[in-house]
A and B are shown apart, each in its own frame.
Chain A
Amino acid sequence: MNSVRFGLLMALLCCGPVLIWTAGQLMSDSTAASAKTDETLRTAVEALWLVQACAAALMATMPVENDPIEHAQGMLAFWLVPLPLLTLVWAGGAADAWMLARGLAAALTFSSVLLAINRGLGRISHSSPWPWHGVLSLVLVYFVWRFDKVWLGWITH
C-alpha cells in the first residue's frame, strides 16, 4: 500500500466515527434549538481534529523508505479528505470560514513538523537501535494534547 492510499484509509477511519456520531446527534435532536446543533457540530470538528492529530502522529512513524514526495502526498490526502465535512459544519453555522482555515493551517503545520521529524530523524533511527523519530513524534503529540486549550483557543477565537 502506498502512502497516498494509506493517508486516505487513515482519513476515512478518522471521519467515519465522527460522522456517525454527528449524524446520530442531529437525528435525535432534529427539532432542538439551534444552539444544541451548533454545539454538536463544534464538538464534531474538534473531535475530528483530535483524532486526525493522533492519526497524523501514527502516520509519522511509518517507515521512511517511501518517496518523500509520495509521503507528503499521503499527508495531503489525509488532510483534504474531511474538507466536505468541514464545509457542512460551516453551512451549519457552527464555525466560520476563518476558524476552519485556522484549524486547517494548524493541522497542516503539525503534520509538516511530524513529516520533517520523520524524514530527518528516521534515517538516523535506521542506523541506531533507538526509534528517535517515533519518540520525538510522541513527545510532540503529548505537547499538542497537553496544551490543547492554547491551540484550540487560537483556532476558535
Chain B
Amino acid sequence: MIGRPLLKLLPVFLALSLDAGADEPEQLTAKIAWGGYFRSGVRTEIGLTLISAEGGRAAVRLVSGDTAPIDAALAVDPGTPRFISIPVTPSAEQPIRISGFLPNRRTFEAEIAASYPISGRAVAVAAEGVETNSLLESLAGTAAVISAHASDLPRMAQSYQVVDMILLGDREFAELDPEQFEALSDYLRDCGRLVFLGAEETWENLEAEAGCGGAFAIRAEHPGQGAELAGELLDRAQPSLPGIQDLRDLSAAQPPMALRTAAVLLFCYFTALSVAGLTSPRPWPLFLLPLAFSALAAALLTGKPPEMRLTGWTETSVGDDNARFVALLTVSGTGRWQGRLPAPIKFWLPKAETYPDIQLDIDRPETHGLALKTELFSYDELLFRGTIRRFHPPLTLDLDQDAVAVANPGGTTQPAGLLAWDGKLFALPSLRPGERWSAENQAPVAPDSPEAYKLRPYLNRDRMAALLIPYASRLWRGNEVPGDAEWLLIKARL
C-alpha cells in the first residue's frame, strides 16, 4: 500500500488535513477522540473524513503504537464526505501512520501525532457551567480535568478507557450522534462513571443503560452539585472483571498438540532412517527417506486451521438489564495457516500479548474479522471485552434477610453451579425447568476449584450473594469458536 503521497500533510491542531490542492477534491481529515488526549498504550479512536472525486471502494490502514495494523474497507460516494471511526493505540513515541487508497486507486499516506498524554486519573467534562476550579477542589487533586466538546466524544466504547469519569451536560448529550450514543451506552453498561447534568426525562433513558445496578451513573440538579458528586463518584471502586491470568486458570484447554505431532513424525523418521542405514545395501533409501518425510511434513503441516478455545466470564446483577463479559480466545497453530476469523457480534478490540491483524468492513459491521496467521507451535491469546444489552440470566436469585433461593424460570435444565452466601460456599444442583432450590439447611462445600476461588471475594460480603454457573455466551455466530469454559456470575444485594 506504500505509494507516492498524493495528498499533502497539513497538520491543524490535532486534526490532520490532507489536500491535494485546489483542483483536487480528494481530502482526508483525521481527528483523535477526546480532543487529542490519550493514554499511552490504551485504545482510543481516530475519526477520519474522506472525500473522493470518484465513487467506489476505498481502503485505509492505520498503524499505531506496537500493535498490528488495522485495515478498514469502505464505500465512498463521489464528492460526499464519508466519516469513519477506527480504533488506534497511540504512544508518545510513535506517530499514528495512516495510509490507503481512494476509489480511483490513488494512494495516500500521512502521519499524525497524539499530543496530549494523560497519566493518572482523568475526568472529562462535556457540560456547560461546570467550574473547573470547584471540580478540581472536589476531586482533591486526585485527577486531571479535560474539557471536551460533544464532537470529541468517542464512537467506540473502548475509547472511554482514556478517562475515568465523564460529566455530561444535557445540551452536549443532545448533540451526540447515534454512534456516540451507542458508545456511551456501552460505557455505562460496563459500569463506567457518569455524572449527568440535565433533565429528569433525558436521565431516565440514560439510567436504563447503566450497568452494575446504576451504581456508577448519577444525575446532578445543577453544575455545582455535579462537581461535588464527581469527587464522591470517582472514589467509588468499580467492580473488575477477571484478568487474562484468571481466565487462563479457569480454562480447561490443554497445551498445544503440535509438538506431539512433530515429535511423532521425527521419531518415525529417525527410526526408519536407522533401520535403512543398518539394513539397506544400497544408498538410495537414505536419500529418499529424508525427501519423503520432508514432503509428508510439509503436507501435514500446511493449510490446517488452528485449534481455538474460548474461556468466557459474564457478570450481571439481579435487577440489571445488562451484562458485561470478558473472554479469552486461545489460538494454537497446528501448521502454517492463514485465514480470517469472524469477530464476535459486538466486542471491544482484543487486547493480548500478541495481536492478529484487524480487518474492519465499515459498511458491513457484521463481517468484522481478525486476520489470523498461524504456524506450527504458535500460540496466541486474545482477550475480548464487551457488554450485552437486555440480558436475561437463565436463573433467578432471590435474596431476603435470612435466606437465598435460586429458581429456574426457563424451559431448559440448567447445569450445576456454586453459590456464595453468608460467608459460605454451597453447591447448587442442576435445576430442571420451574425448579427452585434454597440454600437453607444445605451443607457448605470447600472452595477448592478454580471457579470457586473466583467466588472467594463474595464470601465475606455482607448482604450479598453471588451465583456462578456454566454458561454458553454465544459471542460468535455459528460454531466457529468452540466454548471451552464459560461462566456466568449473578450477584444480588439486599
Contact = CB atoms under 8 A, between A and B. Distances in A.
Interface of A: 4-5, 8-9, 12, 15, 19, 23, 26-27, 30-34, 37, 41, 70, 73, 76-77, 80-88, 90-94
A8 B336 CA distance: 29
A86 B297 CA distance: 10
B256 A83 contact: no
Contact of B290 (A19, A26, A81): A81
B273 A8 contact: yes
A70 to B, nearest CB: 8
A70 B256 CA distance: 43
Contact of A84 (B269, B375, B376): B269
A92 B290 contact: no
A83 B283 contact: no
A145 to B, nearest CB: 26
B302 A4 contact: no
Contacts of A81: 273, 286, 290
Interface in B334-379: 335-336, 353-354, 375-379
Interface in B182-214: none
A80 B259 contact: no
Nearest to B278: A5
The SS class assigned to the B binding surface is: helix
Given A12-B270, A37-B377, 20 more contacts: A4-B286, A8-B286, A15-B270, A19-B266, A31-B379, A33-B379, A37-B379, A76-B287, A80-B287, A80-B290, A81-B286, A81-B290, A86-B294, A87-B294, A87-B301, A88-B265, A91-B302, A91-B376, A92-B378, A93-B375
Which of A5, A15, A23, A87 has the largest number of chain B CB atoms within 10 A?
A87
Interface of B: 255-256, 259, 262-263, 265-266, 269-270, 273-274, 277, 283, 286-287, 290-291, 293-294, 296-298, 301-302, 333, 335-336, 353-354, 375-380
B291 A8 contact: no
Contacts of B333: 93
A34 B380 contact: yes
Given A30-B259, A33-B353, A84 B287 contact: no
Contact of B266 (A9, A37, A88): A88
A93 B259 contact: no
A27 B262 CA distance: 12
Contacts of B379: 30-34, 37
Nearest to A3: B283
B104 to A, nearest CB: 35
Nearest to B268: A84
A131 B255 CA distance: 54
Contacts of B269: 84
Contacts of B378: 34, 37, 92-93
A128 B97 CA distance: 69
B283 A93 contact: no
29 contacts: A4-B286, A8-B273, A9-B277, A12-B270, A12-B274, A27-B259, A33-B353, A33-B354, A34-B377, A34-B378, A37-B377, A70-B283, A80-B286, A81-B286, A81-B290, A83-B291, A84-B266, A84-B293, A84-B294, A84-B296, A84-B297, A88-B262, A88-B265, A88-B376, A90-B298, A90-B336, A92-B378, A93-B333, A93-B376
Contacts of A12: 270, 273-274
Contacts of A19: 266
Contacts of A84: 265-266, 269, 290, 293-294, 296-297
Contacts of B255: 30-31
Contacts of A15: 270
Given A84-B294, A93-B336, A34 B283 contact: no
Top 10 closest pairs, chain A to chain B, by CB: A93-B375, A91-B301, A91-B376, A84-B293, A83-B290, A80-B290, A4-B283, A87-B297, A30-B255, A92-B376
Contacts of B277: 5, 8-9
Contacts of B335: 91
A83 B287 CA distance: 10
B293 to A, nearest CB: 4
Contacts of B293: 83-84, 87
A95 B354 CA distance: 19
B290 A23 contact: no
Contacts of B262: 88
B378 to A, nearest CB: 5
A91 B273 contact: no
B266 A34 contact: no
A88 to B, nearest CB: 5
